[in-house]
Amino acid sequence: MDLKITNGFYDPSHLSYEVVERKGLGHPDTLADGIAEQIEIDYSLYCLDKFGVIPHHNFDKIIIRGGHSVQDFGGSDFIEPIKIIFLGRASKKCFNSSIPLFKIQKKAATKYLNRILPNLDVENYVEFETLTSDFTTKTNWFSPEAIEDLPEYLDVPKANDTATMISYWPLTISEELALMIEGYFYKLDKNELPTPRFTKMGGDIKVMVVRNDLEYSIRINFPLISKFFNNDIESQLYVDKHVEKIKKYIEQKYKNISFSIDYHYYLTTTGSCIDFGEEGAVGRGNKTHGIISSFRPNTMEAPAGKNCTYFVGKVWGFLSDTIAKEIYEAFNTPCQIIMQLNIGSKLYRPTHLFIQTEESVDQERVLEIVNRHLNNGKQNTNLILSTQHFIPKTNVYDG
């Protein structure tokens, strides 16, 4: 492993300006990510329970085709339903027993949509189609008959791809603002996952934060549920009320920053632009830590729906996040990690690992942190599943 630990790293807070975007939990692309990851979790847990292993699969290819509903005050029905198309590849049999793939996919997607968009009547206005294949050139790869057909369980898992993963910690104030403003609209449910606080507000909230020197310009797009409003005056009063509360929430959290808020509101049937035709796809939305931070290094790897046993874009996305946070917590200095791994290499021995911190740190202690997480080996798969690390989240309201 080529490991380099250097100091002199500066995060975007040191620049004269920043631009940070947050696509809310109800945004079509965020919905696609969440559905893909929920399927990956439910499929993996089903197979672990039934077979004791997770067979080969990847669910990181999902498309949402928006429906067609006319947006009117007082509400409206769908003229054409929303359609969710499951792609990717997956084992439909394991050890000569069938896996109810479509049932798992549909149930997981329904569960996810019900939590994020409670105003959406999934049963009547969402259609599901699975195009998930088991095509491959490898014998028994997607239909393992014995443990020998799952080489990652016989030996150290090998990387499935040549890829790079990037993470960093902590967030800047601009990045935190983007998450906490959307998070104002959410609370935690009994499973510690975000669920809407307000019946009349949808989930397709977009927040844009632009910092110019010490001034923060915030733009919020509000999706209103049309059936709860009769005219523009009602809508304006409702939005104005929340804008004032958001201002107070920001002032409570950040007492010494100067900011302004601009906003736009629009009508939706169920709370998302998938109500009127917009498409969603895995990997097109938020990046590391649930934001699109324009001045951070980035990777095109999309972890949502990827296999949590040996996919570089999943396992090392988790490890990069975890290690960056722990290094920051250990030394109280901002940290950035860039990891590169080659296909066929041992999964827990990256080809290159570059760790950058702002201040000098004890390199032996950093190495101990890295090795401890690497030595967890296959246990990282269980951690990804149990923590639901890649299920889209937000900084829920705690005012």
Task: Extract long-range pairs of 368-372: CB within 8 Å, 24+ residues apart.
Answer: 369/323, 369/326, 369/327, 369/330, 370/3, 370/323
The amino acid present at 269, given as its one-letter code, is: T
pLDDT of residue 399: 76
Q: Alpha helix locations (H) across the chain?
A: 28-51, 101-116, 122-125, 173-183, 232-253, 312-331, 363-375, 379-387
pLDDT digits (tens, 9 = 90+) for 332-372: 999 999 999 999 999 999 999 999 999 999 999 999 999 99
pLDDT digits (tens, 9 = 90+) for 117-133: 999 999 999 999 999 99
Find the mean pLDDT for residues 101-107: 99
Per-residue burial over 323-357, b = 16 or more CB atoms within 10 Å of its CB, e = otherwise: bbbbbbeebeebbbbbbbbeeebbbbebeebbbbb
pLDDT of residue 100: 98
State the virtual CA torsion across 38, 43, 49, 52 in degrees, nearest 10: -120
The whole-chain average pLDDT of the chain stands at 97
**pTM given for the model:** 0.97
Q: What is the number of helices (H) and of strands (E) in the chain?
A: 8, 21
Cα 186 from chain centroid (whole Å): 16
pLDDT of residue 196: 98
Nearest CA-CA partner of 273 in 71, 61, 112:
71
pLDDT of residue 1: 80
pLDDT digits (tens, 9 = 90+) for 279-324: 999 999 999 999 999 999 988 899 999 999 999 999 999 999 999 9
pLDDT digits (tens, 9 = 90+) for 243-274: 999 999 999 999 999 999 999 999 999 999 99
Residues 6+ apart with CB under 8 A from 103: none
Portion of the chain with pLDDT greater than 70, in percent: 100
pLDDT of residue 300: 85
What pLDDT band is residue 77 in, cutting at 50, 70 and 90? confident
Q: Is the dihedral of CA 308, 311, 313, 316 positive or negative?
A: positive
pLDDT of residue 41: 98
Kindly report the number of other CB atoms within 10 A of residue 183's CB atom: 25
Domains of the chain, residue spans:
13-24+173-281
Q: Residue 14: pLDDT above 80?
A: yes
Angle at 228 between CA 223 and CA 234, to 5 degrees: 80
Angle at 363 between CA 337 and CA 287, to 5 degrees: 10
Provide CATH code, domain 13-24+173-281: 3.30.300.340
pLDDT digits (tens, 9 = 90+) for 60-70: 999 999 999 99
